[in-house]
Amino acid sequence: NAGVTQTPKFQVLKTGQSMTLQCAQDMNHNSMYWYRQDPGMGLRLIYYSASEGTTDKGEVPNGYNVSRLNKREFSLRLESAAPSQTSVYFCASTATDTQYFGPGTRLTVL
Amino acid sequence: AQSVTQPDIHITVSEGASLELRCNYSYGATPYLFWYVQSPGQGLQLLLKYFSGDTLVQGIKGFEAEFKRSQSSFNLRKPSVHWSDAAEYFCAVTSGNTPLVFGKGTRLSVIA
């Protein structure tokens, strides 16, 4: 039981490049989330998926898209990366009310 | 809208001293409250949670928290801090069917 896994762990992009952050959970959870963490800002919700086939915007969705590929997987895509998207990205999942987090992806956009 | 305030950005305590981290929330109904800990370069680990019932909840690593509805607070405590407790601590709130809202975090430093 690996819990929540994220790939890659680290990534450096140039402005304008695109990339997809992958997240998978093996706990059969319905809901999945993407957060970004910036110094002094705590965790801010980007998008979430309450169940397979549904996605909703969170607090800071601009510049991102998501796909809930199946119950296990929830990906986050940056179509045209900007320096303001330099951050640590966390994926989380929950069955009812307790969220379990992945180890994070540290993204730098130059 | 829900919100969480952690008034202390950074706290330094001596090893063996007691600790209290403050958390205030704003939410109309009965909240579900959480404390998470994040060690440097790591993800978030759940310390404890409160849903209902006994207002004093016990968590992992010797932590406890007390829910005080009248003060809209959910402060985290530990009687004796260890050097390994140095980390960032996040308080969070949800209604149970909405995403978590996090505070901005409190960084704990432990000195000898």
- CB within 8 Å: B43 and A104: yes
Judge whether residue A2 has pLDDT over 80.
no
**Chain B residues close to A104, C-beta within 8 Å:** 42-43
- Secondary structure class of A81 (helix, strand, coil): coil
pLDDT of residue A14: 97
Q: Which of B46, B90, B96 lies at the smallest CB-CB distance from A42?
A: B90
A46-57 mean pLDDT: 94
Q: What is the pLDDT of residues A71-80, one digit of tens each?
A: 999 999 999 9
Judge whether residue B53 has pLDDT over 90.
no
Nearest in space to A51 (alpha carbons), one of A8, A80, A99, A94: A94
Q: Which residues of B58-81 are buried (b: 16+ CB within 10 A; e: fewer)?
A: ebeeebbbbbeeeeebbbbebeeb
Structure tokens at A100: 């379990």
- CB within 8 Å: A42 and B102: yes
**Chain B residues close to A54, C-beta within 8 Å:** none
More confident residue, A98 or A108: A108
pLDDT of residue A39: 87
Judge whether residue B40 has pLDDT over 80.
yes
**Chain B residues close to A41, C-beta within 8 Å:** 104
Q: Round the average pLDDT of chain B to a whole number and report it.
A: 93
Judge whether residue A96 has pLDDT over 80.
no
The band of B29, judged by pLDDT with boundaries at 50, 70 and 90, is: confident
Judge whether residue A1 has pLDDT over 70.
no
- CB within 8 Å: A103 and B46: no
Taking one residue from A and the other from B, the number of pairs with CB-CB distance under 8 angstroms is 46
Within 8 A by CB and 6+ apart from B52, the residues are: B30
User: How far off is chain B from A3, nearest CA to CA, in Å?
Assistant: 12
A1-28 mean pLDDT: 94
**Chain A residues close to B94, C-beta within 8 Å:** 97
- CB within 8 Å: B99 and A102: no
- CB within 8 Å: B51 and A97: yes
